[in-house]
Amino acid sequence: MFSKIQEADKTMRGLAIVGGIVGVIEAILDLAGFGLFKWGLLGITGTIIGLIIAILAIFLGIRPIHYTPAILGIIGVFLIIFGVLIGGIIVVLAAFVGALS
């Protein structure tokens, strides 16, 4: 079937997509005033930046590039900083899985 590297890559991509979707939902909820966590930077502007970064994580899951694990790690940290906690943690986990392969 698949080698271990291909399986880890599929897992990384799947986690990045799931984390991005959760991040988008979290950011939309925060924009609507129903956010789960209220420590994000820059208020509404930070939430919009978090939304854009979450969409970028989805795109990296769909179409990975050469340094995807490192980029996903940076994206995950920024998501956490901008108040998209659960999506950011999932994206950081995807980066960890990708870095191990």
Local mean pLDDT, 10-residue blocks, the chain (101 residues): 67 94 92 76 84 94 87 93 90 92 76
pLDDT, residue 56, reads 95
In this predicted structure, what is the pLDDT of residue 34?
81
Query: Contact 71/60 with Cβ under 8 angstroms?
Result: yes
Confidence (pLDDT) at 1: 54
User: Residue 55: what pLDDT?
Assistant: 95
Query: What is the predicted pLDDT for the residue at 2?
Result: 57
Model confidence, pTM: 0.88
